[in-house]
Structure 1
Amino acid sequence: MHWAIGLFHTSGSDILPTNSPERIFVQCVIIWNLVVFSTLIAAISNALQQLRELNEERTEQFAKVRRYFSSNNVQSGLAKKTWAALSLAAQKPKRRTNWDDIKILQHLPKSLQAELHRHIREPILSVHPFFFAFDRAFTVQMQQVYQLCISEISTEQGQELFHTGEASTQMYFVLEGTFCYYAEGTIAEPSFLSTGQWVGEPVLWMSWKHTGRLLAKTPCAVLAVKSKELQEILGPDGGDAGVIIKEYAMQFTRHCHNHSFRLTDIGVDVDAVGKLVAFAFEPPRGPLQEGSDLESESSPLA
């Protein structure tokens, strides 16, 4: 073995095989060394090539930014600020892998995709009282929500998920990381959102524009519930499920109307949502309190 391994070094060896078993052993070791050595060299070369291509792409992107700033006369202060943010973003580790990033998953049978969607997304959405109750009562409709109404979004530290005045189209559930919500026009302390919390529920049941901005304090990931797609699937033509949706949308819209003086993107607190859910699934008999009615047109699902 000493002699066989020595063949791959410049020093060589003065030990030689002296009989047939030793020669056979030496040949096996040489072939094994040749395979391992070639594989190792190929792997190192491939890794270096990938690193070179990555660096070339990054360098090209930074060169394009420099040319763009120059051709548009971007002021030096703003250019330095943007350049620092881009340099910081380039040094950050790779973000979380999302469903849409893995193209091969699209080739799975639809039933298996549905099972995966439920397994991954049901624990996150079920923290919300409405989705928890609706999933237990209408499993088929909720499966469509898991498949057609939800996307996964990753954000880097310091990135805004939305800003004040932006038209809202999605409700967000935090998968990982920490967000900080700054409500516009208030002196209250910012609110921090972490795994299992949500923001932007009003967009599901009414027309809504963001009343603040949501900033990622750490690398984050969220599940985004698309309001338009959800309204199409759980609309008023959905039988018993449609009746429940309509009732909850009316109750939620009414509650927001009555508390509009302090309503933000964070929406309604968990206890109030639980009461609205209980009312929607088991409405009390008898007239509603005077002054609590709200025109059903306030909600797109009503």
Structure 2
Amino acid sequence: MVNDTLLFGYRGRQNTMMTLGDPLPGFAALARDYKRLGSELTVALADLATPRPQPPADRLPLHEECLHVVRGGMVVARHGESPLFLCDEGDVLPQDTELSYKADSAVLLAAYPWKTVLQRLRKEPHLAALWERLRNLRERLLLHMLAARAGEDHHAHSAFVYFQPGEVLIRQGEHATDVYHLFEGEADVLVDDVAVGQVGEGEVLGAIAVLTGASRSATVRARTRCSAVRVPGSQFHQLIRAHPTLIQRLMTDMARQITRLNHRVVALSG
């Protein structure tokens, strides 16, 4: 059984993570990073926060125009009617149209108006970079949790995989069976052994070949130590059907990556 509930826990100065059911490999470190980045951002934006006590509710009425952080109590994040993870003190609530939040007892949230937050991010580039890292990590956490859930209905499961510098993640010409979501590290992209670009954390690798059934069109080789989530093709197809909003964001990022690499190929050809 894949874990149904994930707890990003905070007790005093300790960042902890507990799973109910089978643990997801590699998630403890990711959860700690999510807690740490969220704390750094919200401390810097503390003057924008408005406390919002909330009574118990099956569906918390979160304002779309605000970023929300848990300041007291626990909140259950759900996908449909299924619990996905628990957030407690210090956690930034991931904003996603496919998620809803439930509180079994009274909770205290802090709300940060998006309009004012964005104004601050434009003025302070280091905060904008921090927010981008937090957003990227949130997408990676959600993808792996949802991929693990999709694996319950398929006899293939996503897994963390690791590559040392020089090792190949994807090889040009091979049949595509998996999609990789790069969690950390950098890798070179090569076409016919010619370097045409680089990819970094948060990027999706190999999805086009899995979707079209074509052979791999490029080789991806680790430049630094890399970690990635390997999602079997059958699971990736299920994710697209079950979680279109999340996958649409990932595919948009991938389209930008392909456009960038195509420009590089054209430049080298000239």
* TM-score tier (shorter): 0.3 to 0.5
Query: Which has the larger strand fraction?
Result: 2
Q: Say which structure is richer in helix.
A: 1
Give the greater-gyration-radius structure (CA): 1
